[in-house]
Amino acid sequence: MTLWLVLAAMAAAAVLAIGWPFRRAKMLMASGSDVAVYRDQLEEVERDRALGRIGAAEAEAARIEVSRRLIAAVDAAGSAPDRPAAAPAPRRRAFAVALLAGLPIGAFGLYLALGSPQLPGQPITERQATRPDDQGIEALVARTEAYLQRNPSDGRGWEVLAPVYLRLGRFDDAVKARQNALRLNGESAERQTDLGEALMASANGIVTADANKAFERAITLDANDPRARFYLGLAAEQDGRKEEAATRWRELLASAPADAPWKTVVSDALARVEGRAPEAAAPVPVPPPRAAPGPSAADVAAAADLGDEARSQMIRGMVERLAQRLQQDGSDVDGWMRLMRAYIVLGERDRARAAADDARRAMANDAGKLRQINDAVAQLGLGS
């Protein structure tokens, strides 16, 4: 609507610019006719004086008055009393009407022929997004999100976007994307493991109940899925069941191909739960067989190669962030259980007991959640 108002205003301005000279010509014609009348009056005054009809004084006064009017008429005519006569009025009017009507009609027809009236409006953000040059990852993500808002059933789009969310640290969005991909593309061991990794990243590297469920489902679909087997061992370690974790990782190593790139991660994790030093130092590898970007359980496992102090700082940072969040929102029962397990992994049982006490106070008014906390305390051996 705004565009059409602007176009109408422009057409009106063009019509006015063209029509004004015709109006001016009419004014000039009127002024030119006055000049002729006043000249005739001067000649008439001279004839009347010559014939004695008026006296000399009267003739002089009349000549002065007519001359004054003649000068004014000449000025109004642009000091051009002798300009050629204009075209006859009917022809001039017909030409003006045709020109004034034809101008907007011709412009509109030209726009229909050369323009794109059917093209919808496009906000500046979308126009910028269509330029492939100089686009950052955020711009590409925004463009993909806009596409998925219009096409939410495109499972392939969600599957492509999920690992990008992980790289950007948008873990909750990554979880939603993995869930959508699983729902739309069908269930597979790989997709279940991907979902579990996203849930772990969202939980600061802790294998939550939902993540554990996803890994177990992956094993049901493919008993040889190395990532799911690794993370189930990590879940056992985080719950304090080190012997179970060691058993899972020994079995994983026994069935691993000789050139598996993730063997070092599993070997170092096994050495950690067995209380011995890693067999050989190596660069921090990826978890088997594909690494989900962002903090994950593999980051915690690979931190063994960083040295005790660096590893402790890395894990403590994640645990402290979880503890701070729970102090602000104590209704997350899974978060409290993850925090207790994390303190046990760090060897800080006193802090795990303190977290259990805080959780009980936060859940005092919710019998169901309080029962879950008490069950977790008993399972972790933290006492009453």
* CATH code of residue 332: 1.25.40
Query: Do 164 and 213 share a structural domain?
Result: yes
Of 291, 318, 336, which one is at a domain's C-terminal end? 291
Cβ–Cβ < 8 Å for 35, 74:
yes
Do 223 and 104 lie in one domain? The reply is no
Looking at mean pLDDT, say which of 79-88, 101-110, 172-181 comes out highest: 172-181
> Are 278 and 150 members of one domain?
yes
| 300 occurs within a structural domain | no
Asked whether the predicted pLDDT for residue 204 surpasses 50, the reply is yes
| 110 and 172 housed in the same domain | no
pLDDT digits (tens, 9 = 90+) for 273-308: 888 766 543 333 334 434 333 334 444 444 434 444
Judge if 261 and 321 occupy the same domain: no
**Radius of gyration of the chain from Cα atoms?**
45
Task: Give the Cα separation of 178 and 218 in Å (integer).
Answer: 14
Domain residues for the domain of 45 are 2-80+89-114
User: Of 256, 291, 326, which residue is a domain's last?
Assistant: 291
pLDDT for 233 equals 93
Number of domains within the chain? 3
Do 155 and 219 reside in the same domain of the chain? yes
The whole-angstrom separation of Cα 229 and Cα 254 is: 12
Inside any domain, residue 124:
no
pLDDT above 90 for 115? no
Percentage of the residues of the chain whose pLDDT score is greater than 70: 61
List the CATH number of the domain containing 260: 1.25.40.10
Residues 202, 238, single domain; the answer is yes
pLDDT value of residue 123: 59
Residue 298 within a domain: no
Q: Do 259 and 182 belong to one domain?
A: yes
CA dihedral 103, 106, 111, 112 (to 10 degrees): 150
Q: How confident is the model at residue 212 (pLDDT cuts 50, 70, 90)?
A: very high
Residue 214 lies in a domain: yes
**Residue 244 sits in the same domain as residue 321:** no
Q: What pLDDT is attached to residue 281?
A: 38
358 and 323 inside one domain: yes
Residues 345 and 317 in one domain: yes
Q: Model confidence at 99, in pLDDT bands (50, 70, 90)?
A: low
- pLDDT over 90 at 187, yes or no: yes
pLDDT at 146 over 60: yes
Asked if 20 and 75 sit in the same domain, the reply is yes
pLDDT at 277: 61
pLDDT value at 352 more than 60? yes
How does pLDDT run across 311-327, given as a tens digit for each residue? 455 566 677 878 888 88
> Is residue 127 in some structural domain?
no
Confirm whether 131 is domain-assigned.
no
Whole-angstrom distance, CA of residue 171 vs CA of residue 183:
18
Is residue 285 in some structural domain?
yes
355 within domain boundaries: yes
Share of the chain above pLDDT 90, in %: 20
Residue 150: alpha-carbon gap to chain centroid: 14
Q: How many of the other CB atoms lie within 10 Å of CB of 324?
A: 9
State mean pLDDT over 259-275. 86
Q: Which of 291, 317, 351 is the last residue of a domain?
A: 291
